[in-house]
Amino acid sequence: MYCKNCGVELEDDMPVCPLCGKPVNGPHDAVQSHASAFDKQEIYLPPSVSRKRKKFTWEIVSLALGSGIVAAFIVDFIISHGITWSEYTTGIGVVIFCYVSVFAFWNKDAVLEIAGGFILSGIFLFILDIITSGVNWAFRLAIPLLLCLSVIAVLYIMVVRSARYKGINLIAYAFLGAALLCLCTEAIISHFRSEIWRLSWSVIVSACLAPVVMVLLFIHFRLKKGRDLERAFHI
């Protein structure tokens, strides 16, 4: 059975839909056919349920990140008698927390949310760098890496939105973005460490991903460009 309000699959003994909360009165009143449920392009999620889910996700992620940061600080202080490597793990945790917070509480377009997450993360990273080492790595390492990641994510979103056929080509574009991120990451890290732009392992990774991208694109166009990703993988 499928809920006629949101299309989620139901068990026979469910009195209430677990996704939208609508009561299941009977097999004919609360469900719709298998075909119509899967033909829906989008599943409607009531705003109140969506906000609750986002808040719950934010709470879980915040607790996990906070526990990890505290544990890293304690281990680092015991081993090094100070704050050394835990500064970087804290920075990563702060970035994740900022992006999750923006996506959870700022209901805007995905591109604007990514931009907001980047700005908020950059501010917190700058403050963290000042507190710990006095502007050493924020502008030269963390913020450039974060900018590359954000730009690649925005470009991927724009490509997905502009793609006429959303099939296996989306996976190919994701691999292409991963290769570009590897190149940017190694270049920024090498410049931070030795003031030289150098590429080595990222070139190997990109070379390995290139045939994968070409094969996926070939499969996509071989399927006459009309095969949706959901139907291709039965999801």
Q: One digit per residue, pLDDT tens: the chain, 235 residues?
A: 777 777 777 777 777 887 777 787 654 444 444 444 444 444 444 555 567 788 888 889 889 998 988 998 899 888 888 778 888 888 888 899 999 999 888 888 889 999 999 999 999 988 888 887 676 888 888 899 999 999 999 999 999 888 887 888 899 999 999 999 999 999 999 999 888 888 999 999 999 999 999 998 888 877 654 455 555 555 4
**Rounded distance, CA 218 to CA 185, Å?**
28
Same domain? For 88 and 61 the reply is yes
SS3 77: helix
CA 197 to chain centre: 28
Same domain? For 177 and 129 the reply is no
Same domain? For 155 and 182 the reply is no
Q: Closest by alpha carbon to 186, among 177, 176, 196? A: 196
Same domain? For 129 and 232 the reply is no
Query: How many helices and strands in the chain, by DSSP H and E?
Result: 8, 0
Domain encompassing residue 129? 46-160
Q: What is the pLDDT of residue 168?
A: 84
Final residue in a domain of this structure, among 135, 160, 185: 160
Domain count for the chain, please give it. Answer: 3
Same domain? For 77 and 58 the reply is yes
Same domain? For 64 and 137 the reply is yes
Same domain? For 40 and 64 the reply is no
